[in-house]
Amino acid sequence: MHDPIADMKQGSAPAPAPAGSSRWGDFVRHNLREYGMLISLLAIMVLFQWLTEGTLFQPLNLTNLLLQNSYIVIMALGMLLVIVAGHIDLSVGSVCGFIGALAAVLMVSYDWHWLPATLACVAMGAAIGAAQGWLVAYPKIPSFIVTLGGMLVFRGLSLALLQGQSIGPFPDQFEHLSSGFVTELMPGGSLRITSLVIGLIAAAALGVASLRGRAGRLRHGMEVEPYAFFLGKTLIFVACIGLFSYLLASYKGLPNVLIVMAVLIVIYDFVTRRTIVGRRIYALGGNKNAARLSGIKTERLTMLAFINMGVLAALAGLVFAARLNTATPKAGLGFELDVIAACFIGGASATGGIGKVTGAVIGAFIMGVMNNGMSILGVGIDYQQVIKGLVLLAAVYVDVYNKNK
């Protein structure tokens, strides 16, 4: 007879390892969500590569795709934290536009040097985030309402700043931030060797990091993917990064923005998985009362998530303004929707507590590839929106369906 008490005392009895092929099946089933996302992205890329008869992956277009998407990805990183904390920020598009306008006024109208102007803009983003975050955290006004207010306020303020006109062009160094490329150290040849090398180093680093991560999980007796699966996945990843770097290197090299974006993704992935602040945000979103009762200053943490969002929205605003090389009253219009959609496509839960940085990034790229691919195909802006909306609904439907199963 099985003795329940004895079992309890022994604590963790190792679960019997399922054998052979069923292990693969189980694994894929349990992690369908995570890999499903990635597979969808790949499928969408292949689909558009075929539909556009190879235009999608042409070096020029690939570069464009990355530039077009950079600000969405940057903001999605912040939005993910806000959503995981159990809130939403509708104001990011307006903040993005407002910061671009502010940058233009400072640099063009007032002739500031680009560096202090940029810093001032980022500080302004933080201040905006702090103000909205304070309203959400302390007087406990629902974030939806606070940021809906913010959306109107900053849209209005950017119109006021620009007085309805476009302001530009920006100083060259500033423009370089967004539309520049990594400087080539090896002259001559059509291939940008430096860029290629950086890309290959990144690919190798990713491979090594995955191997070490798997070894660590094994050491702690945690569940890992079947070896062959892991190897295949990692090789595909490494190969993809290598291939993309090669494609980019054969045009103008790696865009500066890509470097900024990649660094941010790595940092935020680390922050959300490994650091105290990151894990506290998950605890906050998962069960606010439990977090508070454990001694976490939940109000301060909520505010921090919004400040972070403000900073990233400011950064995205600068990147966007630099890319157009002018600040326009329409800048940032509707960005919040793409950013929020990216997070939800990426598997974030609307009730908080669940979501991954990698998911949000993949979500942003799914939106980006669709935007780009449909534009090449000449799909009108009308049906582009319809299709994007349906994709969002489908992704969340699959997610919810899997969860309830």
d(CA 385, CA 380): 9
Q: Could you give the C-alpha distances from 378 to 33, 82, 143, 190, in angstroms and in order?
A: 31, 35, 37, 31
Q: Could you give the C-alpha distances from 128 to 116, 168, 312, in angstroms and in order?
A: 18, 24, 11
List 266, 296, 377, 379, residue binding another protein (CB under 8 A): 296
28 binds another protein (CB under 8 A): no
Q: Which residue has the tokens 């999980």?
A: 217
Among residues 128, 160, 162, 161, the alpha carbon closest in space to that of 147 is found at: 128
Q: Which amino acid type is present at position 245?
A: S
Q: Which is nearer to another protein, 59 or 286 (CB)?
A: 286
List 17, 19, 222, 228, residue binding another protein (CB under 8 A): 222
114 binds another protein (CB under 8 A): no
**Are residues 332 and 94 in contact, defined by beta-carbon separation less than 8 angstroms?**
yes
141 binds another protein (CB under 8 A): no
CB of 85 to another protein, least distance (A): 13
List 119, 152, 211, 223, residue binding another protein (CB under 8 A): 223
Most distant CA atoms of the chain, gap in Å: 84
Among residues 337, 339, 357, 335, the alpha carbon closest in space to that of 347 is found at: 357
15 binds another protein (CB under 8 A): yes
**One symbol per residue from 333 to 362: x for binding another protein (CB under 8 A), - otherwise; what is it?**
--------------------xx--------
Token couple for 387: 């299709």
Stretch 145-164 residues interacting with another protein (CB under 8 A): none
Q: Which is nearer to another protein, 211 or 386 (CB)?
A: 211
Number of residues that bind another protein (CB under 8 A): 39
17 binds another protein (CB under 8 A): no
297 binds another protein (CB under 8 A): yes
CB of 269 to another protein, least distance (A): 16
DSSP letter (8 states) at residue 327: B
19 binds another protein (CB under 8 A): no
Q: Which is nearer to another protein, 164 or 221 (CB)?
A: 221
CB of 166 to another protein, least distance (A): 43
List 194, 210, 287, 384, residue binding another protein (CB under 8 A): 287
Token couple for 321: 């303004």
Residues found near another protein in the complex (CB under 8 A): 1-5, 7-9, 11-15, 18, 220-223, 274-277, 279-280, 282-283, 286-287, 289-297, 353-354
